[in-house]
Structure 1
Amino acid sequence: MNKELSVFGLEGKVAVVTGAGTGIGEACARLFAKAGAAVMLSDINREACERIAADLNEQGLQARAMRLDVTSEADWAELKTALQGWKNRWDVLLNNAGIYIGGMLEDNTIAQVSKINQINIESVFLGTRTAAESMKPGSTFGRGGSIINLSSIAGLVGVPGHSIYGATKGAVRSLSKHSAVEFAKFGYGVRVNSLHPGLIETSMGDQALQEFVDIGVVANVDEAAALLKSAMIPMGRLGNVKDIAYAALFLASDASSYVTGIELTVDGGFCAA
């Protein structure tokens, strides 16, 4: 590899990906491993991560799997211990795990709000805190690192039927900015950025399309996708998981060593239109 381009690689680094059992998380974990990182795949569904890790190891790459409930402080502590026993290093955290709950605001319940806050916001706080206190100088790993928090374009713009989901993703954006400044000012050597996918072809993307049907904007999912591609996404297509994975790789790599506190939007021009 050309030395100038090697900054886009992750050779020698250890990366943790949450929600790695499917979709964007899986795509990012696979790309990080191909870029040279030793990847800890974590998910509430350990079996899915084990299958992916086995596949990566068969390719001569480095991967391990563990069950992680991202809302559990105890599980985050166990993750840290697992990293110590495996590589005794931690350079990258991709806080990807999250859920989608749609619906018109007047129909949402406080139980839904509590659930989505716990998984989409509190877990990002726990992950960011655990990684930062582990990566900063004089700590367990002490090399600095990169934290990437998955948000959404719904955290930047208003979308019908997405109020409580968008609120959590807006909070992820804000948490990322505040922690980025805090960690930089206090010399942690830890960068924090938020990544904002548009409509991506995943099971969660399918849920978002269905929501437009459920609230009466369109008649069916195909019509929803067609409307987005023709009228709302300048590039004229939905995104795919690789689109997000390559953006995450940039933020994880040394190529972004002077990048912290940004929101990187990967949406085919949706937010610019």
Structure 2
Amino acid sequence: MTEAELSGRTALVTGGAQGLGKKFAEHLAAAGATVVVGDLQDAKGQEVAAAVGGHYVHLDVTDDASWAAGVAAAVEQAGGLDIVVNNAGIEIAGLFVDLDPDVVRRIFDVNVVGTSLGVKHAFRTMGPGGPAGKGGVVINIASVAATIAFPALSAYSASKSAVDRITRIAAMESGKLGLGVRVNCIYPGLVPNEMGAGLANEMTTLGLFPSAEEAVAGVVGLTPSGRLATEDEIADAVVFLASDRAKFVNGAGLPVDGGMGM
């Protein structure tokens, strides 16, 4: 990564107030992009936006009207839109014997509907005739859970598998319609952040591992690289896909999981 490779470009990162989204915002800004943080957590989101010298928009990814208003505000504040990172997502573990359909619907609403709406508004904004109108890049955040069978993650894994399919169909539609928008996704491995720690604790609560430490060790044991991913490594992949170094990478899923999902 160089400091100028995304210079002159604007990026909207959903779920940018914390975790991987915050790290994506930091790395995109470090590469020269003007970053707009979209989130429901206004105070945290504004803090991240200020730290990266960018902007903030209130955004509920499950709501079409919120997307329309948020993208319009992002274009107005940043002067355009070239990159959309559909990062906002939730993970709630649960066993099939205890399956709660409302939880499944909530996961799909955020992870699948939210990502789909992000693609919709990215296309409308960055495609010909849109308020940005110069084409661009969409990067969807899937998960290694889309490629492996890990217990208690059926709904989450299914939602992230859907993100993979959404990505590939969106790339094809963009090409067929001449929108000039590349669409790719990444599959992050488990990261030792708040969400990763929460997953380890959930595995213990559900009785699948005797402790959170052993749950993490179980994941590491499935990973040829022998460790967890770092947030910086995941963010580097986002910057790569957003850059001209990836200008002929389209409709692809990039694993950043240390080989866990191979």
Q: Give the alignment's TM-score, normalised by structure 1.
A: 0.92
Aligned to 1:15: 11
1:100 and 1:207 in contact (8 A); partners too? no
Question: What does 1:123-202 align with in structure 2 at a 5 Å threshold?
Answer: 123-202=114-193
1:7 and 1:254 in contact (8 A); partners too? no
Aligned to 1:45: 41
**Distance in structure 1 (CA, Å) of the matches to 2:41 and 2:173:** 33
- TM-superposed deviation, 1:7: 10
**Distance in structure 2 (CA, Å) of the matches to 1:227 and 1:159:** 10
**Distance in structure 1 (CA, Å) of the matches to 2:2 and 2:79:** 23
Question: What does 1:1-273 align with in structure 2 at a 5 Å threshold?
Answer: 9-57=5-53, 63-229=54-220, 231-272=221-262
Q: Which runs of 5+ in 2 are unaligned?
A: none
- TM-superposed deviation, 1:80: 2.3
**Distance in structure 1 (CA, Å) of the matches to 2:97 and 2:212:** 23
**Distance in structure 1 (CA, Å) of the matches to 2:79 and 2:211:** 50
Q: Which runs of 5+ in 1 are unaligned?
A: 58-62
Q: Counterpart amino acid of 2:21?
A: G
**Distance in structure 2 (CA, Å) of the matches to 1:134 and 1:127:** 10
How many residue pairs end up in the alignment? 262
- With over 3 angstroms needed to count, the CA separation of the structure-2 counterparts of 1:105 and 1:190, relative to structure 1, is same
2:35 and 2:52 in contact (8 A); partners too? no
**Distance in structure 1 (CA, Å) of the matches to 2:253 and 2:137:** 14
**Distance in structure 2 (CA, Å) of the matches to 1:106 and 1:8:** 52
Q: Look up the SS of the partner of 1:246 in the other structure.
A: helix
1:71 and 1:118 in contact (8 A); partners too? yes
1:12 and 1:37 in contact (8 A); partners too? yes
1:8 and 1:250 in contact (8 A); partners too? no
Give every structure 1 segment of 4 or more consecutive aligned residues whose post-TM-superposition deviation is greater than 4 Å: 5-8
- TM-superposed deviation, 1:8: 7.7
Q: Counterpart amino acid of 1:39?
A: V
Indicate the percent of aligned positions where both proteins have the same amino acid.
36
2:184 and 2:251 in contact (8 A); partners too? yes
- TM-superposed deviation, 1:192: 0.7
- TM-superposed deviation, 1:207: 2.1
